[in-house]
Amino acid sequence: MLNGPNLGLLGTREPGVYGSKPLEQIVCDLKEKGRQLGVCIEAFQSDIEGELVSKIGESAGRIDGIIMNPAAFTHTSIALRDALQAVDVPCVEVHLSNTHAREEFRKENMTAAACVGQVMGFGATSYMLALDGLVNHISGGK
CA distance 63 to 13: 31
Question: In the predicted model, is pLDDT for residue 128 greater than 60?
Answer: yes
Vertex 125, ends 122 and 127: CA angle to 5°? 105
Vertex 26, ends 94 and 17: CA angle to 5°? 60
Domain total for the chain?
1
Percent of the chain with pLDDT over 70: 92
Average pLDDT of the segment spanning 57-85 = 95
pLDDT in tens, 34-70: 999 999 999 999 999 999 999 999 999 999 999 999 9
Structure confidence at residue 18 (pLDDT): 64
CA 142 to chain centre: 23
Is 69:94 a contact under the CB 8 Å cutoff?
Answer: yes
CA distance 42 to 59: 11
Percent of the chain with pLDDT over 90: 76
Residue 13 sits in which domain range?
2-138
| 95: annotated active-site residue | yes
Query: What CATH number is given to the structural domain containing 19?
Result: 3.40.50.9100
| 127: annotated active-site residue | no
Q: What is the torsional sign of CA 110, 63, 47, 79?
A: negative
Structure confidence at residue 3 (pLDDT): 97
CA distance 50 to 95: 20
Query: Looking at 18, 75, 100, 127, which residue is catalytic?
Result: 18
